């Protein structure tokens, strides 16, 4: 079992749900990234998603795109990101996963990338643009290393295809709440609860919801039907002040995440 399997097994026994913050690696620098992971873990985050900056993100809205641009302008490199994660993983119990384009993984080398994650203590990878038809190879590579391969299901994914995605996924399924790009929303689709409920009934994997979640009422609405909630843009937007006020930004994000964790009970 992977570290993520262990996490959800424990959470289910405790009748708890996961809160999973997202942050961009290298924004504003990797020292802050490490400090942010430690802060999120201390504030009760169940898992942290670390975005690998990419010049052409497929589903990210303007807030996360801007953070990627800031990091890339600082010339952050994949090897440096992984080295930072390798240094921080022994300091926290919270599993880490990377969120990165398949183009980065493919260019780096599928097995080489997976081996690097294992070597640096990372529990899995989210690959938002991995085509279903190309996922079996990466799934096998991950399975042989006890890495979780987390794949995405969207509101536009036909149900038969969603089940096929689940078959090559591990750790949990990432359910995209809206048909669109990442970003904070005041309202979420009415049919979201029903769709996630169906997916949980038809797949043994935990189902976690991301895209648009930012408010306590979102947490209260979705926690009963989901195994976990993913918060990205609302955190990354708050990181925009980190360049000039590192301590204040850490505290603000930490308090924000703690408030969402409290809503999960």
What are the beta bridge partners of residue 18? Answer: 228
Q: What is the pLDDT of residue 186?
A: 47
Check if 14 is active-site: no
Check if 60 is active-site: yes
- DSSP secondary structure of 160-208: HHHHHHHHT--S-EEEESSSS-----S---TTHHHHHHHHHHH-SS-EE
What is the distance between the terminal CA atoms of the chain, rounded to a whole angstrom?
26
Question: Residues 27, 29, 39, 60: which is the catalytic one?
Answer: 60
| Tokens at 233, concatenated | 């843009």
Per-residue pLDDT of the chain (265 residues; tens, 9 = 90+): 799 999 999 999 999 999 999 999 999 999 999 999 999 999 999 999 999 999 876 656 778 889 999 999 999 999 999 999 999 999 999 999 999 999 999 999 999 999 999 999 999 999 999 989 989 999 999 999 999 999 999 888 999 999 999 999 999 999 997 654 444 444 555 678 888 889 999 999 999 998 778 788 888 888 888 999 999 888 999 999 998 999 999 999 999 999 999 988 6
Q: What is the pLDDT of residue 184?
A: 43
Spatial distance between the Cα atoms of 155 and 170, rounded to a whole number of angstroms: 20
Spatial distance between the Cα atoms of 54 and 72, rounded to a whole number of angstroms: 8
Question: Residues 29, 49, 184, 227: which is the catalytic one?
Answer: 49
Q: Specify the pTM.
A: 0.92
Of 125, 139, 195, nearest in space to 162 by CA: 195
Are 256 and 238 spatial neighbours (Cβ–Cβ below 8 Å)?
yes
For the chain, give every domain's residue range.
3-260
- SS3 state of residue 142: helix
Altogether, the residues listed in the chain come to a count of 265
Are 104 and 55 spatial neighbours (Cβ–Cβ below 8 Å)?
no
Architecture of domain 3-260: Alpha-Beta Barrel (3.20)
Q: What is the pLDDT of residue 168?
A: 95
């Amino acid at each position: 079992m992977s570290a993520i399997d262990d996490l959800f097994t424990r959470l289910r026994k405790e009748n708890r749900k996961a809160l999973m913050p997202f942050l961009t690696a290298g924004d504003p620098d990797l020292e802050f990234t490490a400090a942010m992971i430690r802060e999120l873990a201390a504030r009760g985050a169940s898992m942290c998603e670390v975005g690998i900056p990419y010049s052409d993100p497929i589903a990210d809205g303007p807030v996360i795109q801007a953070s990627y641009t800031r990091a890339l302008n600082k010339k952050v490199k994949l090897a440096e990101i992984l080295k930072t994660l390798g240094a921080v993983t022994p300091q926290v119990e919270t599993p880490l996963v990377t969120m990165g384009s398949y183009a980065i993984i493919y260019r780096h080398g599928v097995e080489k990338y997976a081996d690097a994650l294992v070597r640096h203590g990372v529990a899995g990878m989210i690959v938002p643009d991995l085509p279903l038809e190309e996922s079996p190879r990466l799934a096998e590579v991950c399975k042989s290393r006890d890495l979780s391969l987390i794949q995405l299901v969207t509101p536009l994914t036909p149900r038969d295809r969603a089940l096929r995605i689940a078959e090559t996924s591990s750790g949990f399924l990432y359910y995209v709440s809206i048909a669109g790009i990442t970003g904070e929303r005041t309202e979420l689709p009415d049919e979201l609860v029903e769709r996630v409920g169906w997916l949980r009934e038809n797949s043994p994997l935990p189902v976690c919801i991301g895209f648009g979640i930012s408010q306590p009422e979102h947490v209260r609405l979705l926690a009963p039907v989901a195994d976990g909630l993913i918060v990205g843009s609302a955190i990354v937007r708050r990181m925009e002040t980190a360049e000039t006020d590192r301590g204040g930004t850490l505290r603000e994000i930490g308090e924000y995440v703690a408030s969402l964790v409290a809503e999960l009970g």
